[in-house]
Amino acid sequence: MEATIIRTATRDDGEVLRPLYYEFHEFHAAGVPSHLRRLGPYEEYDWATFDKAIGEILNNPDAAILLMELAGRPLGFAEVYLKQDDVSNQAIVACRYGYVQSLFITASIRRKGLGRQLLSSAEQWVRERGATRMRLEVWEFAAGPLGFYEKNGYHTLRRTLAKDL
């Protein structure tokens, strides 16, 4: 069996990334419908706006989209950023850190260790750029990814609480 590859996405990957980002968003919109809206039919979505946003990420030297593939078939992605705390703020222990904006494995192939591989690649990407920590935010819902991140060594550092009024 062929091995999966994880590579940095390029401008030529827009068409490949579209269905992955679409599935990613719809998964989260189903989990937290009070906060995220469904995008509507795939064919009717404003892909020009999406392509522009992806282009901005890919042109940012402190960002990457890591694309996981098997035999040329896209399986998932990680959108990761390199960030720096405010070193002039004497009240915090500032550090250079990575930030996972999005990480996704398509539903049909989950629970095979692929997400762990992708997360590890994202951690390596930021580590190679001098980061000493990785951060992320996660939506909490029954089918959500919180358990995945906890199994991979992540813990709650700060929590955002909300109440509908």
Residue ranges of domains in the chain: 5-151
The pTM for the full model equals 0.89
The predicted structure's pLDDT at residue 163? 61
5-151, CATH topology level: Aminopeptidase (3.40.630)
Q: Are 39 and 10 in contact (CB under 8 A)?
A: no
Question: Higher pLDDT residue, 10 or 3?
Answer: 10
Q: For residues 128-135, give the mean pLDDT.
A: 94
Nearest to 28 by CA among 138, 162, 161, 159: 138
Packing angle between helix 14-31 and helix 47-58, nearest 10 degrees?
A: 110
Residue 12 has pLDDT above 60, yes or no: yes
pLDDT band at 140 (very low <50, low <70, confident <90, very high): confident
Tokens encoding 142: 């029954």
